[in-house]
Structure 1
């Protein structure tokens, strides 16, 4: 497979998952922000955009609810926004048109064509986020059901799983400080995990249990540990070389170390140690992305979390 095709597939997976994760995070936070006084809206909006890596340096106005909606949902110049991510995913699919299946391309193209048909106020953004979650689920479902499990699909799944681990970590990071903290129920809804959590925990509710579920649960596909395990599986499928000495490439080593630490580290104060765990996960995802780029895509420039439109 040509490295440019592999790179496009990797970034399709990342951008589609980024749009989905950002829509989930924005949807839950909008409901809460709409009920806060103006001063608190600005504080929480600035914090949220900072965690999500949204650049506001070229905007003279103070960050607020409307700026949050514009920058995180509709700004095509922002590769971390929903519209920017979906536009970049469609462009990468166009470049890899001979490799992605027709249903995947058609789903991405239809999604891109529908980006400008939504109102840009708070109510319109609610509906936009719901629409994006449905559209990204369609794209991912089409990929899973119409692409052979060859290297093409593995690169797509690799990008998706790596981004999913990073997005779940960022979602949890939006509640690092007491002033910005979501309730445990909203935190779970943000990741689409509420019902799964209730079935697994039954009567055990609370912030600690919710964080533990989203960080460590091996069966829920959006948990950090589960996502990192999926990254490992894709890396093994792409390079199944076996070594008795445990030698492996940098990306697999970084992901494996982060995942193993989370699974085997015992803590009596998970909430207190959460920022440290999340920073470790995000560093592992960034390092793994750079290692994957260096090994498979043959580019001199490093890929940042924001990625490239390539």
Structure 2
């Protein structure tokens, strides 16, 4: 297998897993911001962006909507869902001779249907959509790919990203220190 193909498959796996993990973390923490009156919104948003690897100017006041814009739909922010889905599609295009037609269509359709903004009353539905599209892509690979080197590179990318997201999830514990028991949600 060519190294460029192996690299693309590795990054497809990472980006699909990253979009899923980011959607899950954002869904829980944005809901927590709504439900817990003791959390200082600006500080919690800054901490979440920091844990996810995003930099925000100190003079900007952050709220739930700005975090959603940065980590969900900003196509130029490397930590965002939109960026991850676009990058997964781009890597699939680079490895087109190996990637199945079904996976290509899944990633291409997902990227094309990615909204440019999400209204606050549709946030949970949007995160559900991201999780479904990620599960569909993984399901296509798991059911339609032989257990060869291509599958191994894809699985390696997913596994490394899952470990990274688990570390990020544990790091978000600092966001809820004031509220204690809510962390278990």
Same fold (TM over 0.5): yes
**How far off is 1:79 after superposition?**
1.4
The answer as to whether partners of 1:174 and 1:181 remain within 8 angstroms in 2 is no
Which among 139, 155, 159 is matched to residue 161 of structure 1?
159
Listed as ranges, the matches of 1:40-79 within 5 Å are 40-57=40-57, 60-79=59-78
**How far off is 1:100 after superposition?**
1.1
**How far off is 1:34 after superposition?**
1.8
Distance 1:38 1:65 in 2: 15
The answer as to whether partners of 2:17 and 2:161 remain within 8 angstroms in 1 is yes
Structure 2: give runs of 5+ residues left out of the alignment.
Answer: none
Matched residue, 1:287: none
How many residues are treated as equivalent by the alignment?
Answer: 184
Return closer, same or farther for 1:170/1:115 CA change in 2, 3 Å cut-off. Answer: same
Listed as ranges, the matches of 1:1-310 within 5 Å are 1-36=1-36, 40-57=40-57, 60-116=59-115, 119-176=117-174, 178-179=177-178, 183-186=182-185
Distance 2:71 2:88 in 1: 16
Distance 2:78 2:179 in 1: 24
Structure with the higher helix share, 1 or 2: 2
**How far off is 1:39 after superposition?**
7.5
Q: CA RMSD in A?
A: 2.0
Structure 1: give runs of 5+ residues left out of the alignment.
Answer: 187-310
Q: Which has the higher contact order (CA 8 A, sep 6+)?
A: 2
Return the TM-score normalized by structure 2. 0.92
Higher Cα Rg, which structure: 1
Distance 2:73 2:159 in 1: 24
The answer as to whether partners of 1:175 and 1:182 remain within 8 angstroms in 2 is no
The answer as to whether partners of 2:5 and 2:95 remain within 8 angstroms in 1 is yes
